[in-house]
Structure 1
Amino acid sequence: MKNAIYSAAAVLTLAAAPVAHAQSTDHGFTGPFVGVQGGWEENSVRNPSNAITTTPLTRSGDTGTLGVIMGYDKEVAPRIVVGGQAELNFPVDSRFGNGLASITPKRSVDVSLRAGYLVTPKTLVYARGGYSNGLYGSDVGAIHTSTDRDGWLLGGGVERKLTQKVSARVEYRYTDYSEGNGKFDRHQVLLGVAYRF
């Protein structure tokens, strides 16, 4: 599954490259972009299970997160923008637990689509949905496991053009990594800056 994610990101990059070379004027929100993002996230678990074991833990943990983003947008109709995005995020100081068991978020790879409406020529309000793969460590006593969790994400936000090529955004996102009877979800508030080619 991870190979599929990386392949999708590579295809997105290759598809966007010719367009980036051709653009020389401001095309609003149409075209490829790269950027950085960061913010807050909360991971919440209730006895999360995976293919190996169940971690006896009901708790949530707050942390910061930092990441890189890349994608492509297109205005497909007046005021309507659709696009795709791939990203890699890393939580900061993320371990949480109860003394007997703990969870350590390590990284996530997200691939998503978004659709938005231009409330002004420079301001986009959008909804996002897609796939997420998170790498998490679990410790129960002296036993450590590291697991890739597949999940889905939903969110929404606002993006604003600051200059012809630079935009800033704020976004809320919910991700569900639950498997079986256990619960494992994540809430994020992300601030990002993108450079548009």
Structure 2
Amino acid sequence: MKKFFFLPFFFLVFTSSVFSKSSNEFDPFYVGIAGGYWDQSFKDHYTQQNIIPIGTQGPTYSNTDFHEQNIKSFSLLGGYGFNPFGLIFAAIEGNFNWYSSGKNFTPSEPFYTYSNFSQASLSQEYGMQVALLPGILVTPKTLAYGRIGYGYELYKNSYVTDIPVVFPKRFSNSPWISEYILGIGINQKLLKQISLRLEFQYVDVNNIPGVRGSTFGVPGPGPEIRLFNNHQDNYDLHSRVGLLSVIYYPEIFN
């Protein structure tokens, strides 16, 4: 009985191996370009220390707010795939990315009490990613795959206010931050050396350091001077990404 139980497994391994070696049309080395649309949501974790507390705020104040934005990306990519056995296919891929600007938003709790005079921004600039792409050959010309990756991206954020009595007027920061990537996609051969790839990704980035600094200001009709010390914004960014890629196989290893 056990012999019959294992027969389907051995049959699958044997037939998939024959199918792959005779019919796999995906060459090992490839390069390509990709365009992406990013739907992003992020948390703004705000903390400030008031050396001279005013009103209802105590010495320390914190708040969390949520924002959304959409950006576009352009990528140059390259990779090397291999077919270890049967229908199984895998690739190592790297890419360089450039992004459109993010949007401005009202911070969760601005330096000054009048929030309509203050504005913050958070944007991705450019970066790089590396990933493992395990997949399975659905047909000789169709490859379904997943993505497990790691990235390193440059972010820019700023805080600006035009209130006359608040100094300084602007803070900015440009940190490099790591990210984690999960994705699924389909790669369809169109011509011998050209394929079209459609992919969905989820990109998770935590603890992006925002602008930090101290601001002096006069809050109202009184003579009090308000000092916001160790102002800190930290962002948690979550992106849902749709990518369309054109892949070229130069056949240099054939």
TM over 0.5: yes
Counterparts of 2:104 and 2:179, CA distance in 1: 20
Mark the CA change 1:35 to 1:132 in structure 2 (over 3 Å): closer, same or farther. Answer: same
After TM superposition, list the pairs within 5 Å mapping 1:138-153 onto structure 2: 138-141=157-160, 142-153=170-181
Q: Report how far residue 94 of structure 1 moved.
A: 2.8
Please state how far the C-alpha of 1:100 moved relative to its aligned partner: 2.0
How far has the Cα of 1:70 moved from its partner? 0.5
Displacement of 1:48 in angstroms is 5.6
Structure 1 contact 37–190 (Cα < 8 Å) conserved: yes
CA distance, structure 1, for counterparts of residue 235 and residue 102 of structure 2: 20
Does residue 103 (structure 1) correspond to residue 122 (structure 2)? The answer is yes
- On the 8 A contact 1:33/1:71 being kept in 2, the answer is yes
Q: Deviation above 6 Å: which 4+ runs of structure 1?
A: none
Residue 161 of structure 1: which of 189, 214, 221 is its match? 189
Query: Which residue of 1 is the match for residue 93 of structure 2?
Result: 85
Displacement of 1:56 in angstroms is: 7.0
**In 1: Cα distance, 2:38 partner to 2:45 partner:** 18
Q: 2:199 aligns with which of 129, 147, 171?
A: 171
Map 1:51-62 to 2 at 5 A. 58-62=66-70
57-66 vs 152-161, which moves further:
57-66
Q: Residue 4 of structure 1 aligns with which residue?
A: none
Looking at structure 2, the residues matched to 183 and 124 of structure 1 have their Cα atoms a distance apart, in angstroms, of: 33
Assess if the C-alpha contact under 8 Å between 2:87 and 2:137 holds in 1.
Answer: yes
Change (3 A) 1:55 1:158: farther
Aligned residue in 1 for 2:80: 72
State yes or no: 1:191 paired with 2:244.
yes
Contact 1:79 1:117 in 2 (8 A): yes
Task: Give TM-score scaled by structure 2 length.
Answer: 0.61
75-84 or 95-104: bigger deviation: 95-104
Percent identity of equivalent pairs: 26
Q: Distance in 1 between matches of 2:24 and 2:140?
A: 10
Query: What secondary structure, in the 3-state scheme, does the structure 2 residue paired with 1:177 have?
Result: strand
1:9 corresponds to which residue? none
Q: Distance in 2 between matches of 1:97 and 1:56?
A: 14
Q: What is the CA deviation profile of residues 16-75 of structure 1, one whole-angstrom value per residue up to 9, with x for unaligned ones?
A: xxxxxxxxxx962241111000020123210268xxxx9976211102111111001111
Stretches of structure 1 that go unaligned for 5 or more consecutive residues are 1-25
- Distance in 1 (CA, whole Å) between partners of 2:78 and 2:153 is 18
2:34 — aligned with what? 37
Report the counterpart of residue 140 of structure 2 in structure 1: 121
